[in-house]
């Protein structure tokens, strides 16, 4: 039996009108809701918008801000950023990164006010992007966490503790010289980066973590390869505001393999921590005298990771993630800082043969022509070598930018900068201001002659940042580089076909040379020029 339901046209029209009205009502509610949100955002940002309207800067567009200025390869971005600073001069100018206002500050007197303010220690959301590389270690931690971490870590980077590391520094540098011997037979130039980064990573592992790893014996390290690739991917996030939302960047990470590379880092750091925990547990046993000795039969030196495990045992309750993050930070930032500055310095000395010979004459005068190892007393006397290192850091500071996020308004000369502004301090630009350094693009170690230094503003040279949140490892880095460079130059002279004009910088998490660090080496005859 067929049953037919009859619906009158009037009823159908009424039903259709009902749903149409309902859809329209929902649409109106959504529009009103969005308008309210927009108005609230604009109200909350009214001080920032008023301030930004008075400050010059590149064009900005909805959602992407000034993102169009930073499209291209990392070296293109670096060039564009330098040109922006040339265009707007030393006074502050604005950059919109998405909806976030960034104020670019380069004058030393302004920088001093910002970095010395104990209430301006937060590095902001842009710095949070580093957490996918370093976790929440000392570099990226929130201010309360950073203060706690700093107290724990500081004793291991004071002068007295660093000085006892000299035997390890000398051992690693001797091995570095031995590994380089095969390049004497190489008629072509080679990239010295691979040798230097292996040495620095190996040294950091042993001196800070008590982990003896022969990375100098391997052609490649999975850890170092993963770190290099990760920094390239994270750099893309800094310059592309559409990757700022975590959900989008997580998808990006899966597509690019970033997540897998991070797992490689985690695997290695967990291995170090596990081994150190095992050693620590053994030392707590009644009979552990043999485990208190190093390979040379001397009493074992306490390292940074030892201290963390002891504090954990005393009730600090550090999580596995906390330990991992600090290990990641020390290994990554330490090896990167040492490697980049050393490679740039070697390249500078290869380009400027007269300066190289002057450095060698100083080393020969202090150490003679023998094979004795470098001492602490020697490093204090390496005055001109230190000037060369500092001049390298002036032209090529490892960390190109210092970030600070304001939680309160601050007064800066004629400016009152509103809270929620991010301060962008491009060290590279400050170090190249012509009013501070005549012929700023030339490599001139005499810029750090004591008489010239005393006549310049203190904050005209800040390669390790400054103020309360400066780099904790700067003494360590400088000492190791002195030992490494003096040992290298005693054994080899270094040469290159590269010119200063050939150096092209790319902006990643650190400043690097696009073309690497191509040099050739020749054995020294151990006599001064």
Q: Give 185 or 409, the one with higher predicted confidence.
A: 409
Two tokens at 288? 């552990």
Give the CA distances from residue 57 to residues 86, 100, 103, 459, in Å, rounded to whole numbers and listed in that order.
12, 14, 9, 24
Average pLDDT of the residues of the chain: 84
Give the CA distances from residue 488 to residues 137, 242, 345, in Å, rounded to whole numbers and listed in that order.
33, 45, 12
Residues 6+ apart with CB under 8 A from 261: 226, 229, 230, 233
Has residue 503 got a pLDDT over 90? yes
CA distance 461 to 470: 13
Has residue 219 got a pLDDT over 60? no
Residue 295 is predicted with a pLDDT of 47
Q: CATH assignment of 70-523?
A: 1.10.630.10
Residue 450 is predicted with a pLDDT of 93
Helix 258-283, helix 193-209: angle, nearest 10: 40
Residues in the chain: 529
Apex CA 471: angle with CA 197 and CA 341, to 5°? Answer: 30
Has residue 415 got a pLDDT over 50? yes
Has residue 83 got a pLDDT over 80? yes
Are 355 and 388 in contact by the 8 Å Cβ rule? The answer is yes
Residue 357 is predicted with a pLDDT of 97
Q: What is the pLDDT of residues 126-176, one digit of tens each?
A: 677 777 666 777 777 778 888 877 887 888 888 888 889 999 999 999 999
For residues 253-270, give the mean pLDDT.
81
pLDDT more than 70, % of the chain: 87
Range of lowest pLDDT (344-358, 383-397, 405-419): 405-419
Has residue 216 got a pLDDT over 60? no
Has residue 17 got a pLDDT over 80? no
Give the CA distances from residue 296 to residues 170, 227, 254, 511, in Å, rounded to whole numbers and listed in that order.
15, 33, 46, 39
Q: What is the pLDDT of residues 39-52, one digit of tens each?
A: 776 676 778 888 88
For residues 491-520, give the mean pLDDT.
91
Q: What is the pLDDT of residues 466-482, one digit of tens each?
A: 999 888 889 999 999 99
Q: Buried (b) or exposed (e) across 127-149, using 16+ Cβ within 10 A?
A: bebbebbbbbbbbbbebeebeeb
Q: Please report which confidence band the pLDDT of residue 293 belongs to, taking 50, 70 and 90 as the band edges.
A: very low
Q: Please report which confidence band the pLDDT of residue 110 belongs to, taking 50, 70 and 90 as the band edges.
A: very high
For residues 72-83, give the mean pLDDT.
83
Residue 15 is predicted with a pLDDT of 58
Has residue 497 got a pLDDT over 90? yes
Helix, strand or coil, per DSSP, at residue 471: coil
Residue 432 is predicted with a pLDDT of 95
Residue 502 is predicted with a pLDDT of 94
Residue 220 is predicted with a pLDDT of 45
Q: Give 70 or 436, the one with higher predicted confidence.
A: 436
Give the CA distances from residue 153 to residues 228, 282, 325, in Å, rounded to whole numbers and listed in that order.
26, 24, 13
Q: Please report which confidence band the pLDDT of residue 121 belongs to, taking 50, 70 and 90 as the band edges.
A: confident
Q: Buried (b) or exposed (e) across 274-292, using 16+ Cβ within 10 A?
A: eebeebbeeeeeeeeeeee
Nearest to 339 by CA among 227, 519, 198: 198
Residue 166 is predicted with a pLDDT of 94
Domains of the chain, by residue range, sit at: 1-46, 70-523
Q: What is the pLDDT of residues 196-211, one digit of tens each?
A: 999 999 899 888 888 8
């Amino acid at each position: 039996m067929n049953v037919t339901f009859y619906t009158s046209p009037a009823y159908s029209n009424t039903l259709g009108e009902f749903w149409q009205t309902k859809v329209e009502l929902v649409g109106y509610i959504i529009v009103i809701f969005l308008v309210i949100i927009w108005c609230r955002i604009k109200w909350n940002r009214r001080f920032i918008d008023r301030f930004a309207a008075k400050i010059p800067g590149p064009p900005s567009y909805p959602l992407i801000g000034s993102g169009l200025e930073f499209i291209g390869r990392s070296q293109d971005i670096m060039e564009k950023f330098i040109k922006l600073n040339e265009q707007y001069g030393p006074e502050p100018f604005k950059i919109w990164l998405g909806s976030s206002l960034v104020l670019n500050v380069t004058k030393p007197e302004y920088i001093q006010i910002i970095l010395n303010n104990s209430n301006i220690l937060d590095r902001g959301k842009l710095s949070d992007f580093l957490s996918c590389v370093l976790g929440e270690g000392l570099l990226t931690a929130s201010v309360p966490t950073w203060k706690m971490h700093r107290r724990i870590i500081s004793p291991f980077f004071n002068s007295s503790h660093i000085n006892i590391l000299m035997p390890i520094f000398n051992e690693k540098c001797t091995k570095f010289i031995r590994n380089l011997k095969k390049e004497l037979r190489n008629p072509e130039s080679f990239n010295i980066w691979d040798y230097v980064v292996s040495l620095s990573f190996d040294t950091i592992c042993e001196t800070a973590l008590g982990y003896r790893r022969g990375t100098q014996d391997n052609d490649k390290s999975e850890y170092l390869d993963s770190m290099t690739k990760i920094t390239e991917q994270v750099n893309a996030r800094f310059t592309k505001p559409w990757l700022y939302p975590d959900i989008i960047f997580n998808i990006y990470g899966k597509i690019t393999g970033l997540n897998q590379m991070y797992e490689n880092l985690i695997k290695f750091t967990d291995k170090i921590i596990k081994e150190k925990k095992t050693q620590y547990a053994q030392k707590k046993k009644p009979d552990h005298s043999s485990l208190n000795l190093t390979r040379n039969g001397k009493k074992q030196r306490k390292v940074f990771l030892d201290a963390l495990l002891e504090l954990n045992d005393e009730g600090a309750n550090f999580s596995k993630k906390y330990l991992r993050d600090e290990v990641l930070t020390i290994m990554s930032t330490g090896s990167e800082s040492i490697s980049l500055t050393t490679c740039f310095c070697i390249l500078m000395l290869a380009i400027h043969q007269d300066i190289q010979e002057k450095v060698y004459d100083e080393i020969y005068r202090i150490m003679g022509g023998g094979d004795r190892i470098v001492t602490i007393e020697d490093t204090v006397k390496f005055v001109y070598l230190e000037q060369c290192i500092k001049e390298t850091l002036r032209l090529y500071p490892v960390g190109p930018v210092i970030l600070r996020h304001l939680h309160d308004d601050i007064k800066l000369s004629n400016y009152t900068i509103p809270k929620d502004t991010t301060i962008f301090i491009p060290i590279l630009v400050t170090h190249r201001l012509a009013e501070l350094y005549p012929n700023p693009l030339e490599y001139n170690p005499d810029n750090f002659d004591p008489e010239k230094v005393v006549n310049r503003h203190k904050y005209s040279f800040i390669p390790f940042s400054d103020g309360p949140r400066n780099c904790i490892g700067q003494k360590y880095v400088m000492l190791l580089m002195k030992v490494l460079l003096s040992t290298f130059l005693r054994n080899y002279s270094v040469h290159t076909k590269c010119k200063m004009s050939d150096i092209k910088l790319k902006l990643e998490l650190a400043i690097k040379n696009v073309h690497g660090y191509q040099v050739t080496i020749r054995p020294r005859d151990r006599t001064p020029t």
